[in-house]
Amino acid sequence: MLGLLQGFAAGLMLSISFLDLAHNAMNSIGFLKGNLWFFAGVVFFAVVANFIPEPTLSQSSEVKGKKKNGDEGGKDIMKKHRRQVLFSGIITAIGISLHNFPEGMAVFLGSMKGLRVGINLALAIALHNIPEGVAVALPVYFATQSKWQAFKLATLSGFAEPLGVVIVAYVFPSSLSPEILEGLLGSVGGVMAFLTLHEMLPLAFDYAGQKQAVKAVFFGMAFMSASLYFLELSLPEEMSL
């Protein structure tokens, strides 16, 4: 079940990355510039990932641990698995926080056009965020066995939206080029794609098997695409995700 949920979460992330952020960047600033920004995000986080301590599992060490220490070796392996899953949950939280940031801006801008538009948009994004919160909370709960820790991290990832409102309302410079903003969002898409393919997908394969995990990935992508579509319908004509 954990592997299937990881595959589903990976599908959500890939859909956001390729079909939302990168797609919009290429439409707004051109195919070449959009791709350059996207791969700049990939390269940036590939470099950052080299400095992040990543729990790994070697097959030989698992076998030796089981033979030498019996139950203790099995417990050590489970601890490593839990650390690996926790790392995946934290990565998911970071990626979804980056995605939620512009959604907060969209709610603010929609509310400026009218209260009805703002409320509809806020409700649509709230429904759209439910599977994202689940994608963050489940691996954290599995790794820590603490509902409070899972709730806390999922909630923190959601705080990116009100932060987006604060920044667009008070801090964001009105002189910032729309091209740079779209490029930065394209880079966020590159970061999310790297995180998904480097961390979440291998974990889904390990736990659920390749065939089942791939099905879960495409189900997650279809679910997020439908969610983005209905979210787009709730936006006023002058705005776009």
| 3-class state of residue 70 by DSSP | coil
Global pTM reads 0.61
Assign 49 to helix, strand or coil: helix
Do you know the residue count of the chain? 241
What's the pLDDT score for residue 235?
A: 63
pLDDT in tens, the chain (241 residues): 778 877 887 888 788 889 888 888 899 899 999 999 999 989 988 887 776 554 443 343 444 444 455 556 666 666 777 777 777 777 778 777 776 776 777 677 667 666 666 676 676 667 667 777 877 888 888 888 888 888 988 888 888 888 877 877 776 655 557 788 788 778 878 887 887 888 778 878 888 899 999 999 999 889 888 877 877 776 656 555 5
Q: What is the C-alpha to C-alpha distance for residues 9 and 221, in angstroms, rounded to an integer?
A: 9
Q: Could you tell me which of 99, 65, 62 has the C-alpha nearest to residue 84?
A: 62
3-state secondary structure 8-59: HHHHHHHHHHHHHHHHHHHHHHCHHHHHHHHHHHHHHHHHHHCCCCCCCCCH
Q: What is the DSSP letter of 52?
A: S
